[in-house]
A and B are shown apart, each in its own frame.
Chain A
Amino acid sequence: MIATAQAYAAAWGARFRASLQYRAAALAGMATQLFWGLMRIMVLAAFYRSTTAPQPMSVEQMVGYVWLGQALLMMQPWYIDREILEEVASGQVAYQLLRPLDLHAHWVCRDMANRASAVLLRAVPLCIVAGMFFGLEAPPSWGAAAAFAITTLLALAVASTLAAAVAVATMWTISSLGVRQIVGTVAMMLSGVVVPLAFFPPWSHPIVQNLPFALMMDVPGRFYTGALPISALPLELLRGLAWLAILTIGGRWLLARAKRRLVIQGG
C-alpha cells in the first residue's frame, strides 16, 4: 500500500519538476493573459456602464472574477497532459499497461501534477501583478479565502479526472484534436471564463450550475470575490464530490472497455 502510494507520489513529483522548467514560456503566457484579462475587464465594464439595473456582482467583484478566470485558465480540461495523448497515439500505452500500477490512477495523478504546476506557474505571478496594478483585491474574509482554496483543490481533481476520461476516449479516435477542442470549447464557455455564469439567462442557471465545469472557475471565483456566501460551501462540495465519483467510475469503465478491444499500433 505504502509502496504504491510512493510510486504515485514519484510520478507526481517528476511531472511537477519537469513542467517547472519552462519558465520563459510561462512568462510569455502571463503577458498574454494580462492582455486578455484587461481586455475582458474593459468590455464588461463598458456593459456595466450601459445599464442602471442592479447586477449580480459589483464591478470590483467582476474584476476579481475575470482575473481568477485568467489565473485558473490552465485548470480547464482543454489542457490535457500531452504525453498521455502521445502514449495513446504511439502505442506506448502498452508499456504503461505492463506496469504494476493502475493506469487510470496513474494518468489522473500525472495530469493533476501537470495541471497544478501549470496553474501555479501562471497564477502566482499573474495575481501579484494584477493585485498591484489592475484591481485584483484580496478575498473579503478568511472564510472566503478558505472556501476558495478548498473548491480550487476539488476543481483540480475533477478537471484531471475529466481529462483522463477524455484521454481514454481518444483510444477510439486516435487523433484526439477534434474531441479535445470540442470539450475544451464547451468547458471554457460553461466554466465562466468567457462570460461570467451570473450573466447567463436565468433559466439556464439550474443546468449550468450543476455541471462540473462551473466548479472549475465560477465557483472558486465567486467564493474568492465574496459573490457567493460561505454558507454555500457544503452544497458546492457535495456537487463537486458527486462529479468526482461519477467521472472516476465513468473513466474507469471506459478504460476497462477500451482495454478489451485495444489494438496497439506499431511493433
Chain B
Amino acid sequence: MRDALSLVIHYFGASIRSQMQYKASLLLLTLAHLAATGMDLLGLAVLFQHFGQLRGWSLAEVAIFYGLTNAAFSLADAVGTGFDRFGTLVKSGGFDRLLLRPRATALQLAAQELTLRRAGRLLQALLALVVASGWLGLRWTFPKLALGAAAVAGAACLFAGLLIIQATLAFWTTESLEVMNTMTYGGVQAFQYPVTIYDQWFRKVFTYMVPLALTCYYPVLAILERADPLGGPPWLGWLSPLVGPLFGGAALLLWRYGERHYCSTGS
C-alpha cells in the first residue's frame, strides 16, 4: 500500500515536472479552461437575471449545486486522463507494456498524468461555493463541512468510476466510446441544477443507473436545510455520498474482468 502510494507520488511528480516545461502554455490552457467552465456559470447567471428564479430555487442555491458537482468532477478528471485516453493505448498496443509491469494496471493509468490545467475548474467551483455561501448566509458548521467534503469525495469516486467504465468498454470495442461522455460531461452539466427540474425518466437514469443524484443532490439539500420536493427522507443526504465509493469499487471490479478479456492488437 505504502509502496503503491510512493509510486503514485513519483508518477505525479514526473507528470507535473513535464507540464512545467511549458509554463506559458500551461498558464494559457488553465486560463482557457477557466474561461470554458466559467461560461457555464455565466450562462446560469444570464438565465437567472432573465427568469428570476428556477422552480423556487435561487441563483445562490443553484450555485452551491454547481460548485459541488464541478469540484468533484475536476478531482476525478485530474487523475482520469489516463482512462480518458485509454482507447488510443489499446489501439496502439501500448497497453501490453502496462501489463508487463508488476503493479495494478488501474493504478498505473490513474497515476499516468495529473492534469494541472484542470485546476481551472476546481478553482472556479470553490469560488462559486464561497460566494454563494456568503450570499445565502450559509453557516458551514462542522457536520455540514464534513458532509460537503464527503459529498465531493463521493461524487469524485463516482465520476472516476464512470471514466473507468468508459475505458473498460475499450477492451471490447478498441475504440473509446464518445457516447459515454453524456454520462461524464453530461452528468456534470446536468447536476449544476437541482435534479428536480428534470423529467422523470432523466431523474431515474441519474438515481438508479448512475447515482449522481445521491452524491450531488441529496447532500446539498441537507446542507441547505431544504426539504426534498420529491419527498425523500431528510437523513438521506447524510448517508447517500457513500454510494460513490461503492460505484467506484464496482467499476474497478468491472475493469479487472475486462482486463482478463483483453486481446492485444499487436505492436
Mask, B177-211, CB within 8 Å of A = 1, is 11101100010011001000111001000000000
Please tell me the number of chain B residues within 8 Å of chain A, measured between CB atoms.
Answer: 37
Contacts of A32 in B (CB 8 A): 178-179, 181-182, 186
Contacts of A181 in B (CB 8 A): 29, 32-33, 35-36
A42 within 8 A of B: yes
What DSSP secondary structure best describes chain B's contact surface?
A: helix
Contacts of A178 in B (CB 8 A): 25, 28-29, 31-32
Give A53 Cβ to nearest chain B Cβ, in Å.
Answer: 8
Quick check: B52 and A51 within 8 Å, CB to CB? yes
Given known pairs A36-B186, A49-B55, A50-B53, the reply for A200 and B25 (CB within 8 Å) is no
A39 within 8 A of B: yes
Counting contact residues on chain A (CB < 8 A from B), the size range is 35 or more
Give B36 Cβ to nearest chain A Cβ, in Å.
Answer: 5
Query: In the complex, which residues 50-105 of chain B have their Cβ closer than 8 Å to any Cβ of chain A?
Result: 50-56
Please pick, from A35, A186, A189, the residue contacting B186 in the complex, using a CB distance under 8 A.
A35
A258, B164: Cα distance in complex, Å: 45
Mask, A176-220, CB within 8 Å of B = 1, is 011101101110110000110001110000000000000000000
A35, B185: Cα distance in complex, Å: 11
Given known pairs A25-B178, A28-B179, A39-B189, the reply for A50 and B55 (CB within 8 Å) is yes
A186, B35: Cα distance in complex, Å: 9
Mask, B134-172, CB within 8 Å of A = 1, is 000000000000000000000000000000000000000
Quick check: A46 and B46 within 8 Å, CB to CB? no
A35, B199: Cα distance in complex, Å: 13
Please list 5 pairs of residues, one from A and one from B, whose beta carbons are closer than 8 Å in the complex, sorted by A's number: A39-B198, A46-B197, A181-B36, A182-B32, A189-B39
List 5 tightest A-B contacts by C-beta distance, closest first. Answer: A178-B28, A181-B32, A46-B197, A35-B182, A28-B178
What residues make up the interface of B, taking CB atoms closer than 8 Å to A?
22, 25, 28-29, 31-33, 35-36, 39-40, 42-43, 46-47, 49-56, 175, 177-179, 181-182, 186, 189-190, 193, 197-199, 202
